[in-house]
């Protein structure tokens, strides 16, 4: 186990950014930067012990300063959408950025994915702890939120991402990681033949292409949304099904079949050719399956000189359901003043 630190250049404001390379005994490597608390690279062995980088990203800081698709990024204070970009807590209305039509996506224009995070390195645990003080009214949210994100690489090939935080006012706390995985290697251009399983018998339907939930939960059974039995992403992603038409492919939250707030295995992803397999564990109620439908290969040269195409990578973003703040029957994303926000998601390679 080791952690290497390197300079990753400077932001336009002159902040020095650091890259961290975590390695384990089995040769797996995770690259992180303290800009956006982003996971930039993830080297994972295949069935012949050949390593490939399985996450989409950029070669340098310049790429991450733009990063319109949130490659590898830490999303906060709220992941996913808030309808009308406003909400009420304790009788007070708070206004957020309208950065996706009338709505708020991933907390707005100045997301935590654009912040320079403080860091501490814990060599013994093979982990890096990124921390941020998000002031009262930051992005429009109430309360000073002191938050940390801990990335740990374990000896059994798991990347654990732990979030902790505390706010001095009732607020929304719904952090997630926006890594795009392609288990065939990030240069391989498609995740369509990846085999997916999601432990969810229900999903969160959306009203239209703005992808705001209606507030219902629908059974996946008998629909293309069903991943309760393993199937390839390609099998039904282009099915003539209104929910998929709205979002141009999978971009939906799954209501996980969980026993409670304990961490559980909630999804697996397999690439049949390379034999790589990823397990996802979380303690959260939902996961957004996003199949990279909006990646458009618009000439943006990314890591290793690759121009990514539509569906080059897929995200499994663990979270509270989208727009939960407006839906009484969705588990509340409110963090009470003085209470501890604590949640962990693990991406394990087996």
**Binding site: residue ranges?**
80-81, 178-180, 251
Distance of CA 35 to the CA centre of its chain: 16
Name the minimum Å distance from CB 39 to ligand GLA. Answer: 15
The residues that are catalytic are: 178, 317
Binding-site residue set for beta-D-galactose? 80-81, 178-180, 251
263 burial level (CB within 10 Å; 0-12, 13-18, 19+): middle
Write the CA distances from 247 to 116, 243, 323, integer angstroms.
Answer: 32, 7, 16
Is the Cβ of residue 207 or residue 350 nearer to ligand GLA in the bound state?
207
In angstroms, what is the minimal distance from the CB of 294 to ligand GLA?
5
Residues 6 or more apart whose Cβ sits within 8 Å of residue 20: 3, 4, 5, 31, 32, 33, 34, 119, 121, 128
d(CA 121, CA 131): 11
Shortest CB 288 distance to ligand GLA, Å:
5
Quote the CA–CA distance of 204 and 48 in Å, as a whole number: 39
**Binding positions for ligand GLA, rule: CB under 6 A:** 69-70, 105, 211, 251, 288, 290, 294, 315, 317
Q: Which residue is nearest to ligand GLA, using beta carbons?
A: 290
Considering beta carbons, is residue 218 or 294 the nearer one to ligand GLA?
Answer: 294
- Is residue 150 within 8 A of residue 323, CB to CB? The reply is no
- Strand segments, DSSP code E, in 91-157 are 92-95, 104-105, 118-122, 127-134, 145-153
* Whole-number CA gyration radius for the chain: 19
Q: Phi and psi of 162, rounded to 5°? A: -110, 135
> Of 183 and 287, which CB lies nearer to ligand GLA in the complex structure?
287
């Amino acid at each position: 186990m080791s952690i290497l630190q390197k300079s990753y250049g400077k932001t336009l404001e002159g902040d020095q950014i650091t890259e961290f390379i975590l390695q384990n005994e089995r040769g797996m490597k995770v690259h992180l930067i303290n800009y956006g608390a982003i996971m930039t690279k993830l080297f994972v062995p295949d069935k012949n012990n050949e390593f490939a980088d399985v996450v989409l990203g950029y070669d340098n800081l310049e790429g991450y300063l733009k990063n319109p698709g949130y490659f590898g990024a830490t999303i906060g204070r709220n992941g996913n959408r808030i309808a009308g970009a406003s909400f009420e807590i304790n009788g007070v209305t708070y206004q957020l950025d309208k950065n996706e039509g009338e709505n708020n996506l991933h907390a707005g224009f100045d997301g935590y994915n654009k912040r320079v995070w403080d860091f501490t390195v814990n060599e013994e645990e093979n982990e890096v702890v990124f921390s941020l003080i998000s002031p009262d009214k930051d992005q429009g949210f109430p309360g000073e939120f002191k938050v940390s994100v801990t990335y740990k690489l374990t000896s059994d090939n798991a990347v654990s991402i732990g979030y902790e935080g505390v706010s001095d006012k009732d607020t929304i706390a719904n952090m997630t990681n926006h890594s795009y995985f392609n288990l065939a290697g990030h240069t391989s251009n498609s995740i369509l033949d990846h085999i997916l399983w999601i432990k969810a018998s229900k999903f969160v339907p959306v009203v239209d292409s703005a992808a705001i939930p209606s507030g219902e939960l629908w059974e996946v059974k008998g629909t293309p949304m069903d991943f309760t039995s393993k199937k390839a992403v390609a099998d039904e992603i282009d099915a003539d099904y209104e929910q998929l038409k709205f979002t141009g492919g999978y971009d939906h939250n799954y209501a996980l079949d969980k026993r409670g707030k304990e961490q559980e295995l909630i999804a697996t992803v397999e690439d049949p050719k390379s034999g790589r397999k990823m397990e996802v564990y979380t303690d959260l109620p939902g996961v957004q399956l996003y199949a990279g439908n909006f990646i458009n290969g618009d000439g943006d040269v990314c890591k290793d000189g690759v121009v990514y195409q539509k569906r080059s990578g897929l995200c499994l973003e663990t979270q509270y359901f989208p727009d939960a703040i407006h839906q009484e029957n969705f588990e509340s994303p409110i963090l009470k003043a003085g209470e501890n926000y604590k949640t962990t998601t693990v991406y394990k390679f087996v």
